[in-house]
């Protein structure tokens, strides 16, 4: 697996909790940071992409069809 390194700044309380979890479980803080990102990344992508699409719909930049037309087209 190809990896890249990055840095994040965390509030002291969050870092302390993360460090305690790592110490109590024998895992690294990097492990839990990676797990948290991987767990939430898909949800965040879906949310932000949906918000951008909604903005395009509201501004008239995105075509919209009603459900009846959608299902009618699916039958063809």
**Confidence (pLDDT) at 76:** 67
65 neighbors 57 (Cβ within 8 angstroms): no
Backbone Cα Rg of the chain: 21
- 75 — pLDDT class (breaks 50, 70, 90): confident
Give the pLDDT of residue 1: 83
Domain ranges of the chain: 12-75
**Count of beta carbons in the 10 Å neighbourhood of residue 18:** 17
Residues 20-47 have pLDDT tens digits of 999 999 999 999 999 999 999 999 999 9
Q: Check whether 59 has a pLDDT greater than 90.
A: yes
- Confidence check: pLDDT of 58 > 80: yes
């Amino acid at each position: 697996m190809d990896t890249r390194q990055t840095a994040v700044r965390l509030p002291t309380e969050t870092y302390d909790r993360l460090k305690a979890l790592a110490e109590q479980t024998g895992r690294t803080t990097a492990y839990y940071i990676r797990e948290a990102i991987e767990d939430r990344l898909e949800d965040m992508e879906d949310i932000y992409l949906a918000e951008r699409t909604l903005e395009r719909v509201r501004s008239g930049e995105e075509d919209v069809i009603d459900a009846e037309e959608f299902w009618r087209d699916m039958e063809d």
